Amino acid sequence: MLFGFLCITADYLVFKLSGTSYLKIKYVKNIFFIFLFWTLGSLVIGYLGAAAALFDTTKLFSALFVGVSWQFIFARWVAGKFEKEDSQPLNAN
């Protein structure tokens, strides 16, 4: 959960500084909800992974792997669902 929080915080700061989100999150609205969801998501995925004996979240590397990878995989999958849609061309005037 800690690494999930650190990962979303780092992505938010990068977005604020450079306008780019590696998680493809826009941070336009619901900032608190975004932090809550992605942090708690890490906890749940870590718990399920540990329960299924996929990894040991008491170890630093495992916790880091779960916290970061689940956010990258899930966020990009969700963003991909929106990106498949047609959109108005940027140069249309």
Query: Other C-beta atoms within 10 Å of 24: how many?
Result: 16
x/- site string to other proteins, residues 41 to 70, per CB under 8 A? ------------------------------
Q: Is 1 in the site for other proteins (CB under 8 A)?
A: no
Q: Rounded to whole angstroms, how far apart are CA atoms 21 and 25?
A: 6
Single-letter amino acid code for the residue at 37: F
Q: Is 78 in the site for other proteins (CB under 8 A)?
A: yes
Is the CB of 51 or the CB of 92 nearer to other proteins? 92
Q: Is 19 in the site for other proteins (CB under 8 A)?
A: no
Among 17, 19, 33, 53, binds other proteins (CB under 8 A): 33
- Tell me, what DSSP letter sits at residue 55? -
